[in-house]
Structure 1
Amino acid sequence: MPSPFAKVADLMTDETIRIARDFRPTLVIYPRLHVLGRLVADLLGVPVVAHSPGLPLDPEARLGSLEWLLLPSTCERQGRTLELTRPAAQIHPTPPSMLSDAFPPGWSTRYVPFNGSGGALPSWLLQPPTRPRVCVTLGSVVPGMGGVGFLKHVVEALAERDVEAVLALGGADLQALGPLPANVRVTGWVPLNELLPSCSAIVHHGGAGTTWTALALGIPQLILPQGADQPDNAEAAQRRGVAVSITPVPETREPIEAALDRVLKDGEMRAAARAVQEEIAGLPSPHDLIERLAALT
């Protein structure tokens, strides 16, 4: 059964190639899971560079083949096979202190948090919090796939602490959480790069955008990974000392309570989060990579 990634790539192939031939690039940069970019680069005879939104993972090494991401028939229509040219580099926003020998080499670049403006910010966000603020979010995919019920222990634990909890869960159905305590604020979509600077901690699913926004802003994290690259992100953050990762979600509240207390009170974790924030700020900006990319052409 072809994966959704392979199906989407197949649907996009002909038009993408047409646009690329009209545009005549001298370099192709593609998202690491959208390997149609490699096919396009092969057809045009130009170098190709992968871009990762988080850790520099190598899907080809993990999957053993590109077939899960690109159908053989997609390549065959263009007179090619899945034996495509490997990228000359992988750009990623992971600071060196979070890397290990398990990751392929790549180019670290500064993560620049931007989650959209969404119009006017809520008035409460323009005022400093009167007690520690904790953001709880699950990104845009998890709530729609599995709901938010597994956050019930999180909400219950936050209710017993002197904090302001912000449920930034978009339009998710919150009925599974039961009656919400008085110290919980429900909001729709709020840009994390605007919300997190006022927070003392964040509870989330481990998606790359959420994890790296918290890293770039120096916020300790409690991560409850659900799938995809989330366990990898959570493990890397925990290994660096900036997060607590719990998987699977526990059936009792005690592990959640202990983890919340740690991310809120552990001075070493807070210091590690600040250190990673400074490390990210010192990485080359995306603009700084332009000359290095141009040298590949």
Structure 2
Amino acid sequence: MRVLFASTRGSGHFHPLIPLIDACTARGDDVLVVAPPALESLLATRKQPYRIGGEPPQEEIARAMTSVLALSPDDGVSMMVTEVFGRLGIAAMLPALEAACRDWRPDLVVHEAYEFASVVAAERHGIPRLRVAVSAARFTRPTDTLLAPVFAPYGTGIVERLLATPYLTRLPASLDPSSYAVTHRYHETLRPGVLTDRWGGAEEPLVHLTLGTEAGALPTAAALYRALVEAVSELPVRVLLTTGHLVEPADLGPLPPHVHVEQWVPQADVLRSAALVVSHGGSGTVFGALAAGVPLVCVPLFADQPVNALLVADAGAGKAVTPTGGPEDEPAMLGADDVRAIHAATELVLKEPSYRVRAERLADEMRSTATVAELLDTLAP
């Protein structure tokens, strides 16, 4: 079978495709990945063939993103979906995906939930599709109501057929019920390594601080990291802060001795040892923590993070701390009240066993779903 995978530019959007790509490769399928230029360096480290599509004009992207950050959270999401992923994303990526569908002739197109050019290309060539969740269905399904004008230039009925496309998600049903007509749940089989000791043999609980891949690129990222460190610095814990490749540990200034900073550590290795994750509530971090049975303190900043934080809190698998913000001209900041609230939430989740128990129950539920290989054998035999 020939399987074409398509992603938008964010690594957080591409990562949910990786287990499916690897499983297709392992069973002998021919695989082709089509993605924007921002993912080329990542794709070059992998063994699957890939093609690089286009990207929107930088001035248009810059203008759109400036508007997104200035809008209310709901309006910002709407603009991101319709303008960045929608109008601009389709126009940039459609030529490469059309060419791939025409000359490579895939039997199946697998796209992450917000890659829409592949939807248009597959429609034009009559190729079946699978849609892979990036976020919770509770977040994604309402954004689908915005898509009619996005797809209107490319034909009729596309949104309706998109909603009928099999929807693949790693989140368990008890946490994130799906209103999609056809929903399949699956889990990854991970083999985490042992986390190297960075604390001289200390045995206090390990707290992992992270802002993921997208929030870590914000201009205010260093200040956000410092605020998170301040929130947990007086607790009897070991701290591992991962900053991503755009922030140097030295940018954070002097840190307490029990706080260790690295740009990147394999998430599965950290979660194997972690007692708690304090994060922005990004989907990749939330999925990973819950799959490992680790509770969270979520401090949502934008996009799907408020929904993820709410799901975690409602499930009793952690706490949500909605930021009140820093200065008005720097909305993506944490103020003194936020730091105190994060400290209190972290202390509570570490002390109260029920949060860990509920996270572990969700992990058990996730492990009861199909493996990636089993899912592919069902949907793409």
Question: Using a 3 Å threshold, how does the CA distance of structure 1 residues 104 and 63 change in structure 2: closer, same or farther?
Answer: closer
**8 Å CA contact 1:111, 1:212 repeated in 2:** no
- Could you list the per-position Cα deviations for residues 50-70 of structure 1 after superposition, in whole angstroms to 9, with x for gaps in the alignment? 1103412575743533268x5
Distance 1:284 1:60, change over 3 A: closer
Match for 1:243 among 298, 308, 318?
318
Q: Which one-letter code corresponds to 2:180 in the other structure? A: P
Gap change, CA 1:155 and 1:95, over 3 Å in 2: same
> Is structure 2 residue 359 aligned with structure 1 residue 273?
yes
Report which stretch shifted further, 152-161 or 211-220.
Answer: 152-161
Q: How many residues align?
A: 284
Structure with greater proportional helix content: 2
Q: Which has the higher contact order (CA 8 A, sep 6+)?
A: 1
* Further displaced range: 52-61 or 205-214: 52-61
Aligned AA (2:231): A
Residues 1-297 of structure 1 aligned to structure 2 (within 5 Å): 3-5=83-85, 6-57=87-138, 59=140, 61-62=142-143, 64-66=145-147, 70=150, 73=153, 75=154, 80-81=155-156, 83-84=158-159, 85-86=161-162, 87-100=164-177, 103-105=179-181, 106-112=183-189, 123-124=196-197, 130-145=203-218, 146-171=220-245, 172=247, 179-248=254-323, 249=334, 251-252=336-337, 253-294=339-380
Cα pair distance change 1:200/1:15, threshold 3 Å: same
2:376 maps to a residue whose letter is: I
Between the aligned partners of 2:199 and 2:250, the Cα distance in structure 1 is 29
Any unmatched runs of 5+ in structure 2? 1-63, 65-81, 324-333
Q: Structure 2 length as normaliser, TM-score? A: 0.66
Distance 1:280 1:203, change over 3 A: same
In the TM superposition, what whole-angstrom CA distance separates every residue of 1:245-297 from its partner, at most 9, and x where no partner exists? 111255324322220112211111111111111111111011111233137xx
- Residue identity matched to 1:31: E
What TM-score results when the alignment is normalised by the length of structure 1?
Answer: 0.84
SS in 2 for 1:130: coil
Q: Percent identity?
A: 25
Distance, in Å, in 2 between the alignment partners of 1:36 and 1:162 is: 49
Amino acid paired to 2:315: R
Q: How many angstroms does 1:167 deviate by?
A: 1.1
Distance 1:223 1:199 in 2: 15
Gaps of 5+ in 1: none
Once residues 225 and 32 of structure 1 are traced to their aligned partners in structure 2, the CA distance between those partners, rounded to angstroms, is 21
Asked whether the 8 Å contact 2:138–2:177 carries over to 1, the reply is no
> Structure 1 203/142 Cα, relative in aligned 2: closer, same or farther at 3 Å?
same
Q: CA shift at 1:179, angstroms?
A: 3.2
**Residue 263 to residue 58, structure 1, CA distance change in 2 (3 Å):** closer
* Other structure's SS at 2:187 match: coil
Structure 1: distance between partners of 2:200 and 2:100: 47
Choose 284-293 or 270-279, whichever is displaced more.
284-293
Quote the RMSD (CA, aligned, Å): 2.9
